[in-house]
Amino acid sequence: MLLSNRQDELQEIVSSVTKLCNTFGEDYWRRLDKKDGYPTEFVNALTQAGFLTALIPEEYGGSGLGLLEACTILETVSRCGAHAGACHAQMYVMGSVLRHGSDAQKEKWLPKIASGEIRLQSFGVTEPTSGTDTTSLRTQAKRVDEGWSINGQKVWISRVEHSDLMVLLARTTPRDEVARKTDGLSAFLVDLRAARSNGLDVRPIDAMINHHACELFFDNLIIPAECLLGQEGGGWRVILDSMNAERILIAAECVGDARYFIDKSTAYAKDRVVFDRPIGANQGVAFPIARNYAETEAAALMVERAALLYDAGKPCGAEANMAKMLASEVSWRAGDTAMQTHGGYAFSREYHIERKFRETRLYQIAPISTNLILSFLAEKVLGLPRSF
């Protein structure tokens, strides 16, 4: 992901992030994985180094960088064997506040996020009955004297227990009273510290993937009027910006995962000797790795294109979705190649392959499944008849 006219700047980011990641090492992640722990020390280190707050403007204490730089950060974290998914939301949720937050909201929250005093890395959208059919969500927000009353349920909401703020999407106008199904949705910036035990019940989900997901229950949670993010009824546009950024950033992580697997496979194929020669001399071992490399480079170019469009403020929905699909698929294939290359040793936690293999599988499902991306491209880009 190194453009010719920005190569030095991006390479400096790669070097700095790599150095930070190396101070923790892969054994740090293996220990956390065994006990389903949260990488508090790692997240704090990334924050203090300015990497997780890269998108925050300098006037609020951030670095004022673009999404391309943010992609480089997360790609490098993943390539180093770390788990970027534990903290990536700090970046893509930030887009909602940066593009749609009021001056008062930015002045109140951004300096504290930039300093690491508080964390914004939770995105309350998905619900049990609607899944990725976001416009069918049932969580409601109603105006009351104190501000807004929230009632409903969310599921698979990551990092709530490790966040201070959350961007929440709720319906403020019933679906049958709006002209378009995307109307009547509103976004809110919720202070989780005040919400817990005051109408918000957080229940952790015991799941395979270490993303610390939770189920949320809202029972007349009262939040101040100034928590509204953007315009009432304009929440779809608020989260759309975040969703595009989310897809692009996660695609960058998957590129990093793929390169991690390729690095591991290449090194092992050179060193592992069977029948008196390195296994990498066998085309059956070498060719899958080479194909993974070619496909990863192609996916990286799509990530770069999507990020540049996003930074330029241009439409990037198709590119963001294609980047996420291509990168998530090649990261899984590269992981499978790494498993096959390492043979039985791939199942040993000592080699770290099985942990990363589990982590990268998620991204063909979340934040949007491959089939939904294909449906989007067929209908919105190619103009094919709507399939459902």
- Can you tell me whether residue 25 is helix, strand or coil? coil
Question: Based on the domain organization, do 345 and 209 belong to the same domain?
Answer: no
Whether the predicted pLDDT of 191 surpasses 70: yes
Domain region containing 349? 237-381
**Of 291, 304, 305, residue with least CA distance to 261:** 291
> Are residues 113 and 56 in contact, defined by beta-carbon separation less than 8 angstroms?
yes
Question: Based on the domain organization, do 129 and 256 belong to the same domain?
Answer: no
The CATH number covering residue 281 comes to: 1.20.140.10
What average pLDDT does the segment 351-371 reach? 93
Query: In the chain, how many domains are there?
Result: 3
Whether the predicted pLDDT of 4 surpasses 80: no
User: Which of the listed residues 115, 150, 167 is the one where a domain comes to its end?
Assistant: 115
Look up tokens 């969310």; give the residue.
154
Confidence at residue 355, expressed as pLDDT on a 0 to 100 scale: 94
Confidence at residue 86, expressed as pLDDT on a 0 to 100 scale: 84
Question: How do 185-191 and 273-274 pair as beta strands?
Answer: unpaired
Per-residue pLDDT reduced to its tens digit, 78-105: 999 999 988 888 888 888 899 899 999 9
| The model's pTM | 0.94
What average pLDDT does the segment 63-89 reach? 94
What average pLDDT does the segment 15-37 reach? 94
Question: Based on the domain organization, do 367 and 249 belong to the same domain?
Answer: yes
Q: Which residues of 74-105 are buried (b: 16+ CB within 10 A; e: fewer)?
A: bbbbbbbbbbbbbbbbbbbbbbbbbebbeeeb
Confidence at residue 212, expressed as pLDDT on a 0 to 100 scale: 87
Confidence at residue 132, expressed as pLDDT on a 0 to 100 scale: 76
Question: Based on the domain organization, do 94 and 137 belong to the same domain?
Answer: no
In a domain, 388, yes or no: no
Whether the predicted pLDDT of 211 surpasses 80: no
Per-residue pLDDT reduced to its tens digit, 264-313: 999 999 999 999 999 999 999 999 999 999 999 999 999 999 999 999 99
d(CA 10, CA 74): 12
What average pLDDT does the segment 150-156 reach? 96
User: Which of the listed residues 195, 221, 236 is the one where a domain comes to its end?
Assistant: 236
- 2 band by pLDDT with thresholds 50, 70 and 90: low
Confidence at residue 247, expressed as pLDDT on a 0 to 100 scale: 95
